[in-house]
Amino acid sequence: MKIAFIVGEFPILSETFILNQITGLIDRGHEVDIYAEIKGNTNHVHPSVNDYNLLERTYYFDQIPNSILTRIIKGLYLIAKLGIQDPIKILQSLNIFKYGKESLFLWLLYSLIPNFNKDYDLIHCQFGHLSFRGMAFKKINSPNAKLITIFRGFDISTFVEMKGKDIYDQLFSQGDFFLANCDFFRQKAIAFGCPESLIKVHFSGLDCKQFTFQPRYLKKGEKVCIATTGRLVEKKGIKYSIRAVAKQSKITPNLEYNIIGDGELRPNFQQLIKELGMEDIIKLVGWKNETEIKEILDKSHIFIAPSVTAKDGNQDAPINVLKEAMAMGLPVISTYHGGIPELVDDGVSGFLVPERDVDSLADKLNYLISHPEVWEKMGQAGRKYVEKCYDLDVLNDKLVEVYQQLIQPQKTSFDTTLKSITLLS
């Protein structure tokens, strides 16, 4: 199969879930090209980008200015530049009688790839908000391709809050199939108008072989090491875990809390840690690569992921850092938030508490510290669940099945065939 991935930024270190799909499809003999809105930092990339020569498969769209006047002025430049290369396509992109608003507002012009000679089987939009580019790309470049879109979080929460609940009406009428990376977001998409029969859950997978399971024990006199991994932004709720650890330190002073990641709230967290007098216990260790993260988690006993719904409505799916911690055998504490309860079984692989509830976070942390004998059993349960439901190889096979059913429907009806596919996420 020939597949076009529509992505936001590429390359980007934080979206390994997209990389995992790309490389998995290539490993299975399929041809994947990447079409990105923004060119990322090519000097600092995930090893897979170089291993698979992905930059050679990547193309970049012209940015579409928000200002209509700027869009027209830049559009005239594009017409002059691209018109020499592909005058027929330029004329097609401006055919408002055939394409209406997408032509009038120059979406097709800005999505045109000159001298395009590929006929894709599928166009896969990797976030809902990229589907507008995907629809335009399909119309002007590969009209016979099937259009599939996956909802991952921001696109079905904050973006809808910003743009209105009818923002995806056009997509739901034109798209061929839809995925969501958890049932929480699937139900949201259905509530916003996505046909229920055309959307399935497909989780973001994890290569469990890359994460070594290690039972957790507390040696005599050893510090209790706690870890959190995530961007230092509101949605990750890290200020609440900082306060919870500070509260617990009054009971258990022999603590160490490492917060891995960087972001806009770093100065705020530094100030909070200072105000709480926790500089010797709570460390903002900054951004780390995958190897360094594993080294920190190997030495940790408990993992906290205190996600919250941000003021702009942004929510999380079952986040990869939780999967990774569970795969490595860490008991976890997280929140009743977004798709996380689909990953963490409360009381079995860890604990869930209400969002922004410092006291509940501290209570569960105190329980785990007071009962280290439960760590190994919780860690085993977490690893087992991640292996069962989030195995990357299984999920990539299931993704191929969905693709094949879209482009090669069998004797049974399209709807019945898709319903027969059980997607693990």
Across 130-137, average pLDDT: 97
pLDDT band, very low/low/confident/very high, at 418 (cuts 50, 70, 90) = low
Residue 151 has pLDDT above 60, yes or no: yes
Nearest CA to 277 out of 237, 249, 239, 300 is that of 249
Q: How far is CA 159 from CA 68, 107, 128, 300, in A?
A: 21, 19, 9, 36
- 3-state secondary structure (DSSP) of residue 103: helix
Tell me the C-alpha distance between 77 and 34, whole Å: 25
- Is domain 2-205+394-419 given the CATH code 3.40.50.2000 in the classification? yes
Report if pTM > 0.85.
yes
Tell me the C-alpha distance between 100 and 381, whole Å: 54
pLDDT score, position 421: 47
CATH of 208-389, one of 1.10.10.10, 3.40.50.2000, 3.40.190.10, 1.10.3330.10: 3.40.50.2000
Neighbours of 115 (CB within 10 A): 8
Q: What pLDDT, in 10s, does the model give residues 233-280? A: 999 999 999 999 999 999 999 999 999 999 999 999 999 999 999 999
pLDDT score, position 71: 95
Nearest CA to 149 out of 120, 125, 122, 182 is that of 125
Query: DSSP letter at 63?
Result: P
Tell me the C-alpha distance between 238 and 305, whole Å: 8
Nearest CA to 24 out of 397, 329, 407 is that of 397
What pairs with residue 257 in β-bridges?
A: 226, 282
pLDDT band, very low/low/confident/very high, at 14 (cuts 50, 70, 90) = confident
Q: What pLDDT, in 10s, does the model give residues 24-47? A: 999 999 999 999 999 999 998 999
* Residues written for the chain: 425
- Integer-rounded Cα radius of gyration of the chain: 23
Domains of the chain, by residue range, sit at 2-205+394-419, 208-389
Nearest CA to 151 out of 120, 111, 192, 121 is that of 192
What pairs with residue 34 in β-bridges?
A: 5, 58
